[in-house]
Amino acid sequence: MNIIKYILKRIIQTLPLLFIVSIISFFIIRLSPIDPLAELRLNPSISQETLQKETQRLGLDKPIPVQYAKWASSFVRGDLGVTSSGERVADKLKERIPNTLLLTSIVIFMTWLVGVPLGILGAVFHKSQFDRLLTVLSSIGMAIPSFFFAILLLIFAVKTSLFPVGGLTSFDFDEMSLGGKILDLAKHLVLPVTVLFTISLSGLQRQMRANMLDVMDSEYIKFARAKGLSEWQVIFKHALRNALNPLITLLGFEFAGLLSGAALTEYVFQYPGLGRLILEAVMKSDINLVMASLMMGSIMLVLGNLLADILLIITDPRIRGVGK
């Protein structure tokens, strides 16, 4: 029962957060010198009627607080307006967000699968040659600019033609069998995943190693050893569980980092994700699209943090205890 209460409390806390985020992003964009409808006006295929509707929807003729209220209420109702090329923003987002989520969840899953064991190994063999090597490798991984690494992989892909370059699916995707479709998706995902994986793996390995070293230094580990437990049991039964908790908090941050890192990677690989969408929108100063994708990015980030916190509430009983 207690757990549910805490989770609910945590969920309610995110609402004011999103409210402030929306105000910040609204004012950044509305106070900028860009006319939100400039592109629409220039596009001959947009009818005067649509323009009128947009002006009304955004309340451009009214003071800024009213504009905000109008924008927020239509956002909550799911009406995000149209892009400068006349498509509905909501459709565009619906198409792009799953792609970004797919990319980031594969990357997070893989980094945890590889990074946590490597972190443990680094800590267990602290100061050995192996640990040294891992540290050097992770320093290198952290230092490669994502877009530069992406370019290097592009050269590799173009030279060997092992992997398709750009997009998420081949042009004949619809005619493929299910197995062929999965293979095609996987082939397109290899390069972007490699870039993001390398960069986030290094960070996670370091963090896990640091946590583990921290825990291995504590009294109860000494006690467990004194009790005569095998090193194996000490590490996996006692140390690991406590070393993982701070990592769960980090999961939220990792998600944030990936959303940002993904933008550049998506751009280089022409991957149809949210990051590239917002970039293109920014370049075309397509205000509706920028606002909506900025908000969606923030919502995804907040939800990611929320999820991490809920996981932590479940795994770490101390957090539930503190509130009492």
Residues of the shown chain interacting with other proteins in the complex, contacts defined by CB under 8 A: 16-18, 20-21, 24-25, 28-29, 32-34, 136, 139-140, 142-148, 151-152, 154-155, 158-159, 210, 213-214, 256, 259-261, 263-264, 267-268, 275, 278-279, 282-283, 285, 290, 293-294, 297-298, 301-302, 305
Calpha distance 221→106 (Å, rounded): 34
Helix axes 287-315, 89-124, angle to 10 degrees: 40
Q: How far is the CB of 294 from other proteins (least distance, A)?
A: 6
Q: How far is the CB of 246 from other proteins (least distance, A)?
A: 8
Q: How far is the CB of 160 from other proteins (least distance, A)?
A: 12
50 or 285: CB nearest other proteins: 285
Strand, helix or coil for residue 82: strand
User: Any alpha helices (H) in the chain, and if so which ranges?
Assistant: 2-30, 38-42, 48-58, 64-76, 89-124, 129-143, 146-160, 178-216, 219-226, 231-233, 240-269, 274-283, 287-315, 317-322
155 or 226: CB nearest other proteins: 155
12 or 20: CB nearest other proteins: 20
Q: How far is the CB of 254 from other proteins (least distance, A)?
A: 12
306 or 311: CB nearest other proteins: 306
20 or 178: CB nearest other proteins: 20
Strand, helix or coil for residue 110: helix
Strand, helix or coil for residue 194: helix
Q: How far is the CB of 116 from other proteins (least distance, A)?
A: 19
Task: List Cα–Cα distances, 279 to 18, 25, 272, 284, in angstroms.
Answer: 22, 16, 11, 9
51 or 154: CB nearest other proteins: 154
Task: List Cα–Cα distances, 204 to 104, 194, 211, 220, in angstroms.
Answer: 15, 15, 10, 25
34 or 176: CB nearest other proteins: 34
Cβ contacts of 293-296, under 8 Å, gap ≥ 24: 293/93, 293/96, 294/25, 294/29, 295/21, 295/22, 295/25, 295/75, 296/93, 296/97
